[in-house]
A = this chain, B = another copy of it.
Amino acid sequence: MPPFDSQSRQAHEARRARLATLLGKRPALIAAGLPRPRNYAANLYPYRASSHFLYLFGQPLRGAVAVYDGAAFTLYLPEPQPDQALWEGVPPSFEDVAAATGCPVRPLARLPASVRGRAVATLSAPDVETCLEQSRLLGREIRRGVIDVLDAPLADAMIELRLHHDAAAVAELRLAAEATAEAHRAGMAATRPGRTASAVRAAMESVFIARGMTCAYPSIVTPHGEVLHSERYDHELCDGDLLLADVGAETPGGWAGDVTRTWPVSGHFSSTQRELYEVVLEAQRRAIAGVTPGTRYRNVHLLAAQSLASGLVDLGILRGNPIELAADGVVALLFPHGIGHLLGLDVHDMEDLGDRAGYAPGRERAKEFGLRALRLDRDLQPGMAITIEPGIYLAPAILEDEALTRVAGDRLDRKRLAAFADVRGIRIEDDVLVTESGREVLTDAIPKSISAVEAAVAG
């Protein structure tokens, strides 16, 4: 159990009180989920409770189930196993958990009676085993990623709460940002030609382990930044390479950081790398400046795309009007993903609820390449946390695809682009909190300008 003081208890009590207000008399069940076996039953992946449960209770209580009966919450916990104290340490007693959370605790065996014969809303746990148990308990099929009519008010209430981070949430995001910053500095310092990407990954992730944290998502540490979510770490780092690192911490309470930096293995950007890096950096600067309460996030995306287009036109890689190049999807050939996403207890916050969380009611994902990868399209409001992560990629998977590139016509100068071949992929990503007056970049302490990055890399 992460340390849990009375302040933290109060924050979670307040969240449950707000959820109760939103739910009224509608009962609900939130399951923490079960540990998942890796290769056999007793060899488990590190336990991660469901984010909805963590949001309401703050503690990764294995196998716990919370029930809201239309008036109050009760926590149902598995009974300690006979040998548990010897093998895992003395488990917290039900009284301990009740005192820490401010919520009454009862044994899991009494859970079925508490929901029997009632229409109880729920959200699917991340693990299939718990989904099957939810199905048995509630007498209807609970499937991962499916929100039934009965469950919709609960989903919408959780979205309403989790979209706007309270002070306790912001404190956790700051913790994650701080660890993430240290990891990126450690990664830069550990980079040298001849090492493998895995050595840099080790330097970065060990920062999290030393702080009792973990990775919020599988790290991307690769000289092949053009593969957007590469999980290979075996490439040797060469003198002229850029290294792209998309690595973020998760606090013991479950809150995420999510940062990308791209730095030269040698410690010095080539002139072509420098030119494209500045284009991405300027797009990020403009996009961040565009983060204000009331702004539609999709427009932040378009702003970034236009800024990229403008820079690419200046370099002779694209031809035409930047606004049209962005609108027509020509920029998407080099910037194929969205400008960012919600950030919170999940690195893509509430992605388990699908676009119901990321897209405002009435808004739908675009169909076209590029924009269809945008995970968020809401009007920004104070308390929201988002990422801003423009990039430029020379991705063969796109550039060699005639159907995709047809849209460009002669507006993409491939010969000119070929001169930038020593850039495979550049992404620059920060975590941004929307404030009343605009925004705060939570991850500002990480080297980002050309000079700061070059100074931080050992080379």
Contacts and interface: CB of A to CB of B under 8 A. Distances in A.
Interface string A192-215: 000010110111011101111000
Interface string A328-367: 0000000010000000011110011000000000000000
A86 interface: yes
A126 interface: yes
Contact of A217 (B43, B88, B145, B336): B43
A211 B228 contact: no
B37 A127 contact: yes
A258 to B, nearest CB: 11
A383 B449 CA distance: 57
Nearest to A203: B206
A458 interface: no
B352 A41 contact: yes
Given A50-B39, A89-B230, A227-B86, A198 B209 contact: yes
A144 B232 CA distance: 31
B205 A348 contact: no
Interface size class of A (residues with CB under 8 A): 35 or more
The 6 closest A-B pairs by CB, nearest first: A206-B206, A202-B210, A85-B397, A202-B209, A40-B352, A86-B397
A104 interface: no
A266 interface: no
A453 B302 CA distance: 60
Given A218-B44, A348-B42, A352-B41, A212 B198 contact: yes
Contacts of A127: 36-37, 128
A38 interface: yes
Contact of A207 (B129, B202, B231, B352): B202
Contact of A36 (B45, B51, B203, B348): B45
A109 interface: no
Given A40-B126, A45-B45, 8 more contacts: A37-B127, A39-B254, A46-B218, A86-B398, A89-B224, A89-B230, A198-B211, A202-B209
A79 B388 CA distance: 33
Contact of A210 (B199, B209, B228): B199
A233 interface: yes
A352 B88 CA distance: 21
A126 B209 contact: no
Contact of A233 (B203, B212, B228): B212
